[in-house]
């Protein structure tokens, strides 16, 4: 994910919410960058998937949209805080991401930025179709589409 001048009005979330996983925190991470070739993107994705496998975490691959750009994302299910910092730090350091989405087990969505800032941005919800005017994540496994419903002040 690439951070621009302002934070988008929403950020997408996708996840498998089985009864067992209701109490699990999720991270939504991409390792894509818009300036990379398909070959470079493929290598980065394989490297990240290798890391996730070594950490023995469960994840799903999804298509997401960040600031109008489609990208591959990973919906990573975490058991408590185990591996949270490692995955976050690798996303920011090795894969040069500006933001990672953290989703609490109770629905809160928070953008974590590479500079250490955190911004609660709303609640994740499932919708019937891809929105044209906001970010989304669509699970590959079943086509479910998710968005973050932003907080109203």
Nearest CA to 148 out of 11, 6, 3 is that of 11
What are the residue boundaries of the structural domains of the chain, listed by start?
20-150
Q: What is the pLDDT of residues 19-33, one digit of tens each?
A: 444 456 899 999 999
Q: What does pTM read for this prediction?
A: 0.80
Q: What is the largest CA-CA distance in the chain?
A: 44
Q: Looking at the domain that runs over 20-150, which CATH code has it been given?
A: 3.30.70
For 34-43, 48-57, 114-123, 131-140, which range has the lowest pLDDT when averaged over its residues? 131-140
The whole-number average pLDDT for the span 106-125 is 91
Tokens, residue 88: 């976050």
Nearest CA to 74 out of 6, 12, 128 is that of 12
Q: What is the pLDDT of residues 42-91, one digit of tens each?
A: 999 999 999 999 999 999 999 988 777 889 999 999 876 678 889 999 99
If you ran DSSP here, which 8-state letter would residue 80 be given? T
């Amino acid at each position: 994910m690439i951070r621009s001048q302002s934070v988008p009005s929403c950020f997408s979330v996708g996840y498998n919410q089985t009864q067992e996983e209701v109490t699990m925190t999720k991270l939504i991470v991409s390792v894509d960058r818009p300036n990379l070739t398909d070959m470079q993107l493929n290598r980065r994705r394989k490297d990240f998937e290798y890391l996730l496998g070594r950490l023995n975490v469960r994840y799903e691959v999804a298509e997401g949209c960040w600031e109008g750009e489609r990208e591959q994302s990973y919906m990573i299910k975490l058991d408590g805080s185990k591996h949270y910092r490692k995955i976050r730090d690798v996303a920011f350091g090795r894969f040069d991401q500006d933001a990672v989405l953290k989703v609490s087990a109770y629905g809160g969505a928070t953008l974590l930025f590479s500079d250490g800032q955190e911004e609660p941005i709303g609640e994740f919800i499932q919708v019937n179709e891809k929105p044209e005017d906001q970010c989304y994540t669509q699970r590959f496994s079943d086509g479910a589409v998710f968005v973050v419903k932003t907080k109203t002040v």
